[in-house]
Each structure stands twice: as C-alpha cells, then as structure tokens.
Amino acid sequence: MTQILYKQKSSIQKGETVRGMNFVSPLVEYKFYNQNSEQIYKKYFPDADNLQQANSNLILDAIDETKNGYDFKRYDFFSDKNRDSKINPNEELIFKLLLFVSTDGNKVKECYEVVKPADDEIIFFLETDSDSLSEQKLFGRVSEKIRKTYVNTSTGKLYSSFFDGNIIDTVQKYLSKANKPIIEELFINGYITDKSIAAGFFSGLRYLLIALSAPSKALGWVVNKLGEEFDSLKIPDEFWDTENENYSFNKENIIENLSISTDKLAILKNLFTDKKGFNLADITLKMLDDIILNQLAVIESFVGKYNSYVKTEIEDIFKILELPEMEMATDSIAQPIALICGVWNGLVDFVSSIFKFIGMLLEAPFDISKDFQQILEMIDNFWDGLRDGSVWKNLKNAVDAGMKDMVEYLKGKDANDINWVRIYYISGFTISFIGTFFIPVAHVAKIGELGKVGEILVKINEEVGKTISQTAKFVKVQTAEAYHTVSKAFIELFELIKVGGQKLKNFVNDIWKKIADWFLKNRKTANAVDWMSSKLFKFGDDDRTFRNFLKLRQRATDEFYNVLCHGEPDRIIINGRKLKAEEFAKMLLEQGYEKGKPIRLISCHTGVKQNGFASKLAKLLETKVIAPTDRISLNDLGEFIIDKKGKFVEFNK
C-alpha cells in the first residue's frame, strides 16, 4: 500500500542547539551509543512531525517534504490476510521502516552512529541540504535479524530464492543504476554511510522490500497453479501396464511414448494466459510474467534432464537385447520401462505436492512461518535440485539398486506368481511418492483415481507411509510449530535426495523391504491375475483374454498351436458361448487348423479330468493336447502360471 503524507507544522519549538546540532534535546549533551529508535526520536527530533501508520514512520525535522515535485511517500508491508489494506489484530507486521529526515548533516550522521535498530526495524537517516534530490545524503541501518533473514551469511549474497538470480538482480530493471549498489550494500552489510542517492531511490527500495511480500505471493500463486496441473506430466498406464486394456508395445515409438512432450509443457504455460485470481495491485504485470517464466524454465530443465535420461536408458536396453544371446529375452524390457514410469510418476506427485506446500507458505509467508530463512533455504534447494537434474538422477540410481535386492528377496520367498511389471512400477512409484508424507498438503487419496493400479498404490502408500513418517497425518497445518517441524523434515529429505550417495540408498533400502513385505501379504490385491476361468469372470471377458494374449505374444514360437480362452473341465467359453469339444474342433478346422498339430489349451481346468474337454479334443483332432489342471494365466514374461501347484497334463489321440 502507498500513501502520500503531508507534514503538519508544530506551533511550539522544543529543540535547542547542542554541540552544533539544531533542534535537539538538551539530553544529547553527551553522546551515548546503542540507543533505540524511540530515544533517537525524542532526543534528536523533539520538534519533528512523526507521521505514522501501520508499521512505517516518516519523521520530518522542520523541512518541507515536497521539493522540486518530489513527494516523500509511505509504504506499509504486512501480511494482509483479508485484503482490506489494514493491519488487523490477527495480522503480524513483517518489519518497521523508519525514515528520519533533516537538513542538519551533523545530526543525521550522529543519529546513524548511535542508533541500534530493534530486531524488526530498518532505519534510514536522510540529509536534505539542497533542492536537488541527487545531492541528498543517506545513512541507514538494518537489524541483524532482518539482515540474516534476507542474506545468505555463508556466501554474503542476498538469497536467490524467488527468482532465477539474486532478488536485487531481478528488481534491478526497476532501479536506477546509481541506487542498486546502495540498496544491495545496505542489506548485505547491514548499514550504509554517506551515500548520494538518485531520484527513484525510495521507489526502488519499495520494489526490493515487496520482493519479500507481494512478489512472494505472486510466486505462491504461480506454483500453486503449477502444482494443481503438474499431474499432466505423468506417463499414461497404457505405455507400461501389460494388463491395461489399451497396452501396446511398440519398440520404435517407446522413447517418444516415455518422454514428456512439448505439448504437455504447453499445458502448463497456458495456465497463465489468464491472470484471474491474482491481485496485481502491489506488483507490475511484467514482474509477474518474469516470475512465471522463471518457474516454467525450472520445470523445463527438470523435464529435459528426464527426457535425456529416458533416451539414453532405452537405447542402452535395446543394444543389449540386440545381442544374439539375448534374442529370446525381448520380453524383459517391460520391467525396466515400468520402473522408469513408476519413479517418474511418483516424482511428479512429489514435486506437485512441494509446489503446493511452497505456494501455501509464499502466499502468506509471515502468517504462519516464523523462520523465513528456513523457507528461503528450502526453496533454494528445491529449485537447484530440479534445475540440475540431481533429484531425478540420484533417486533413479538408488531405486535401481534397491530393486535388484527387492527382486532377489521376493524370489527367495516363493513369489514367482507375482506380476513383476506391476512390482517394478508400484515400487518405483512408492519410493518416489513416499516423500509426500513429509508434506502437509499432499493427499494420498488422489492417486486412487488411477483405476486398479491406483487402488493398489493407495493401499500400499497408506500402510508403508505410516511407518516412514508421522507427518502423514498432517492434512492442514495451522501453527508455526507444525510448519517448522514439517519444513525441517522436508528439507532433510530433499537434501538426502539431492546429494544422493549411501544415505539415500539406505533410505530406499528401508522402503523397499516394507514394500516387498506388503506384496507378500497382499498377493491377491497386487497381482490381480487374469485367470482364464469362467468361475471368476463373465463368459468371454474379452479384456482379460486380450491382456493374456499380449503376454502370450512375448513367448517364442514352438511346436504348439495355442488356444487362449476361458475354460471349465468339460467345455471352453468364447465370446459368451459355451462350446463342447465337438463344436470347438469343428470351429478350429474351419479357421484353417491343420489336423495333427499339437495343441496347448490355455484354459482353466480343461486338463483336470481324464475324460474331459482336453481328452476329447485330442481324439477328435487326432493330435497331442496339453491342458492345465487348475486356473491358468500368464505373467509379463509370457510364462505360464498355474494355480495351486497345478500343471499341464498331456492327452493323446
């Protein structure tokens, strides 16, 4: 908020001339250091007008506040929850800004030397000894607490949290070149002495200060919108889930399918065509657009690192599969693809939740969070990790190592009937997604919208997540203490992912063991095997048959003519029709089957009876027929799974 304030003349003069300073109290006979702003006001400016509103003071020492058309202006900085431009009892001041103005250069210099700002104060002393603003001299002090909040003490630079570069560099376009180094020096050193300021200094200062209020709210608005639509970057199930009814394996297009297209990034850009929902009163449209473009640039860099990884990874997989000794193993590509998709989709949810969390903090940064420096560090780490690709690379490497151990662990537990493609996807997703349990705005339930796989993800993440972090219970955190706890946990987690190494591997190892044990306890839910049985499914459930058909294609050809359909001991079911052996034999011959070629029945229970369907079919077609004694399905490697230790039985003519 900006307001022009006018000076009211005092009718009774209290000040004297002491030690060469005009209009001061006799109490300044001796020079005392470390005086607070109230003491400075009473001793050095007894006749001054103190124009105060909210958290800003303009103290004018017997001067005209308008010179050559220049107006001294007041700026209030506070967290305006209800947007009424007033500070209400529940709204906390960010800091106090005090500006002492005098024509007495000696007084201005001494006040600067003896004052000690309170923790929430920024104090300026301005000497106006001519009609030219450029000749004015400025002294100033910033409290150590405020300085440490906005300055990275290890690097000596202003935090680069909100923009792609230092705050001052982004605000620079709104500053005079003469003023920029003065403002920067004030915040970095905590003081400035005897500086000549150019026109626009105070408006430039305003832009810098609201970089931690209005622009932060703008960034909060931007990342909140990004968080809401970030799910559009996920990879659809049909590109990895062999049990999805739309699954199709196309080796030529697989890199394109797994990459994040520019069309998807365009969806995020188009979010900001309409600025509806953001109040532009305290920030220019150009500055808001700069913020939007900077955040989109971070996301584009993050996606670019992922796309490069996918291209390299898939090309390496196919190089191995093209070796002569690997000719029969082309089916194994489904598992690493599922893992890539799982890690990426889980990471998308993780990043989406981080965007929402940061957006919540930035839109009201001083309402809840008392440690703003912690928030700045969190944002810095997050942005850097996305931009340089370390988050994706380190997490994927740790997951790769963990998955090898997990597969060995499960195979040692007689888990060969498990759907391995889903194991790879769900494990990758869960390890990436588990970070959301450190974030209070993450909602596990949203992944339940992803169909059958989503239902499994909800169950496993709810159970595994409870053992990883107690912050899973935070749906909405409304206290500074809770935010501090959650923010600290998140910072530690993100730093773990960003740095990588053994600590991250240990973290992943702890998670994969919990995931593996969950799968062992919940095989029925996790596997959802497509048994070719009429007792489990409606007659002719084409979706189930089709998915098993796709898996069957992974097998190398052999001597058998494969028959894939639902079955019972005395009949098979095709498109809802129950067919006895005689009817089916006639159908096969009409479709070009050559009598005498061995037949494999991939139909539940068709081999359980000595004089059942398989036995009769063998005699009718004068050939060898093998059929399962129990329920049968295929895994993603094209291998047969027969329930309850069942087996294929051979029948001859």
Q: List, as one string, the DSSP characters of 141-165.
A: EE-HHHHHHHEETTTTEE---SSSS
Residues 6+ apart with CB under 8 A from 4: 71, 73, 74
Which CATH class for the 542-651 domain?
alpha beta
CB 95 within 8 A of CB 120: yes
For 51-81, the DSSP string reads EEETTEEEEEESS-SEETTEE-EEE--B--T
pLDDT(613) > 80: yes
pLDDT of 525: 52
Instruction: Tell me the sheet residues that pair with 73.
Output: 4
pLDDT(446) > 70: no
Q: pLDDT tens digits for 625-646?
A: 999 999 898 877 778 888 877 8
Please state, for a pLDDT cut of 70, what percent of the chain lies above it.
Answer: 55
CB 643 within 8 A of CB 631: yes
* Phi/psi at 636 (5° precision): -75, -5
In angstroms, rounded to a whole number, what is the distance separating the alpha carbons of residues 85 and 254?
A: 55
Banded model confidence at residue 363, pLDDT cuts 50, 70, 90: low
Closest CA to 221 of 356, 354, 353: 356
Closest CA to 299 of 227, 211, 220, 397: 227
pLDDT of 282: 46
pLDDT(53) > 70: no
pLDDT of 236: 77
Q: pLDDT tens digits for 256-283?
A: 777 888 777 777 777 777 666 655 544 5
pLDDT(617) > 90: yes
pLDDT(71) > 80: no
In angstroms, rounded to a whole number, what is the distance separating the alpha carbons of residues 148 and 146?
A: 5
Banded model confidence at residue 535, pLDDT cuts 50, 70, 90: very low
Better pLDDT: 415 or 495 = 495
Q: pLDDT tens digits for 466-512?
A: 544 433 333 344 455 555 666 666 667 677 777 777 877 777 777 77
Q: Is the pTM above the cut of 0.85?
A: no
pLDDT of 31: 92
pLDDT of 59: 67
Q: pLDDT tens digits for 298-319?
A: 778 878 887 887 788 777 777 7
Structure-block tokens of residue 157: 């630079």
Instruction: Tell me the sheet residues that pair with 29.
Output: none
Structure-block tokens of residue 93: 């001041």
In angstroms, rounded to a whole number, what is the distance separating the alpha carbons of residues 335 and 590?
A: 39
pLDDT of 570: 93
In angstroms, rounded to a whole number, what is the distance separating the alpha carbons of residues 474 and 464?
A: 16
pLDDT of 198: 55
CB 128 within 8 A of CB 169: no
pLDDT(329) > 50: no
pLDDT of 204: 56
Q: pLDDT tens digits for 206-224?
A: 555 544 445 556 666 776 7
Better pLDDT: 128 or 72 = 128
pLDDT(619) > 90: yes
Better pLDDT: 242 or 161 = 242
pLDDT of 618: 94
Helix axes 180-189, 201-210, angle to 10 degrees: 50
pLDDT of 346: 79
Q: pLDDT tens digits for 145-176?
A: 878 766 777 777 765 543 333 444 544 554 55
pLDDT(464) > 90: no
Comparing 40-49, 156-165, 397-406, 492-501, the range with the smallest average pLDDT is: 156-165
In angstroms, rounded to a whole number, what is the distance separating the alpha carbons of residues 97 and 631?
A: 78
Helix axes 420-433, 334-363, angle to 10 degrees: 20
Comparing 323-332, 491-500, 532-541, the range with the smallest average pLDDT is: 532-541
Better pLDDT: 367 or 485 = 485
CA dihedral 519, 524, 526, 527 (to 10 degrees): 110
Q: Look at the alpha carbons of 600, 603, 605, 609 in this order and tell me if their dihedral is positive or negative.
A: negative
Cα 93 to Cα 81, 99, 328, 370, 520, distances in angstroms:
12, 17, 70, 12, 55
In angstroms, rounded to a whole number, what is the distance separating the alpha carbons of residues 264 and 242?
A: 24
Better pLDDT: 119 or 334 = 119
pLDDT of 626: 96
> What average pLDDT does this structure show over 28-43?
91
pLDDT(559) > 70: yes
3-class state of residue 367 by DSSP: coil
> What average pLDDT does this structure show over 338-362?
76
What is the phi-psi region of residue 576: left when phi exceeds 0, alpha when psi lies from -120 to 50, beta otherwise?
left
CB 504 within 8 A of CB 496: yes
pLDDT(566) > 70: yes
> What average pLDDT does this structure show over 430-442?
58
In angstroms, rounded to a whole number, what is the distance separating the alpha carbons of residues 51 and 71?
A: 14
CB 242 within 8 A of CB 341: no
Mean pLDDT over all residues of the chain? 69
Comparing 25-34, 191-200, 328-337, the range with the smallest average pLDDT is: 328-337
pLDDT of 541: 43
Residues 369, 370, 376: CA angle, nearest 5 degrees: 70
Better pLDDT: 260 or 451 = 260
In the chain, what are the domain boundaries?
A: 2-210, 214-527, 542-651
> What average pLDDT does this structure show over 430-440?
60
> What average pLDDT does this structure show over 437-443?
47
Helix axes 390-411, 285-321, angle to 10 degrees: 40
